[in-house]
Structure 1
């Protein structure tokens, strides 16, 4: 059993050539008793973006707050609080925050997806 709070989870920031203003928190996974999966929260700051990439595992996403765009398999989709998305394995994707917005979303991946 595990009980905690997001505010107490380590924040790991990312900025670089293909990523801007992204913070990751790994909330629940094997260390908390959930074997095989990891639930993370990502915060993408105003005008920030995750890398456009693909990988061999799928993931599911739920937008907690903010507005932005999800690039998925060649198309762009507007996302906002309450939006959900399933990203299949080996599918190009990217999250982008709108100007004046910060996106916060849950992302659940198999354990190998959080390295």
Structure 2
């Protein structure tokens, strides 16, 4: 069942198109924009990422934070200079302008990622050091 408009939205994730991330950003990774500006969201957007086994979202940074919850599978996430093993049930916080990347394990990696609708920091000319 799905309802949209000014009164909110309810949607099954599988009914939202999985869009491949560009090759310069990732290999074997897809995003579903579950809740976005087009739905009337003004403060936060919710995305579902699916990274195929052995897939990788390459190192990047930007002036907004991430709040992530791992739903299925596992892998590694690098935040600044430190790698962390993650699996279903882990929550992850990535501050703005801190370089980060993700690598899926043999089981793949599926996670919810919530981002603010607007930057939460000034854009940095280079990533913030965080070791």
When normalised by structure 1's length, the TM-score is: 0.90
Cα distance in structure 1, aligned partners of 2:107 and 2:88: 11
Is 1:105 the equivalent of 2:114? no
Partner of 1:72: 79
Cα distance in structure 1, aligned partners of 2:14 and 2:34: 10
**Alpha carbons of structure 1 residues 75 and 26: separation in structure 2 relative to 1, 3 Å:** same
How many residues of Structure 1 are paired with residues of Structure 2 in the alignment?
112
Q: 1:16 aligns with which of 12, 16, 23?
A: 23
Partner of 1:43: 50
Give the aligned CA root-mean-square deviation in angstroms: 1.4
Counterpart secondary structure, 1:101: strand
Counterpart secondary structure, 1:2: coil
Partner of 1:89: 96
- Asked which structure has the greater RCO (Cα within 8 Å, sep 6+), the reply is 1
When normalised by structure 2's length, the TM-score is: 0.80
Counterpart secondary structure, 2:38: helix
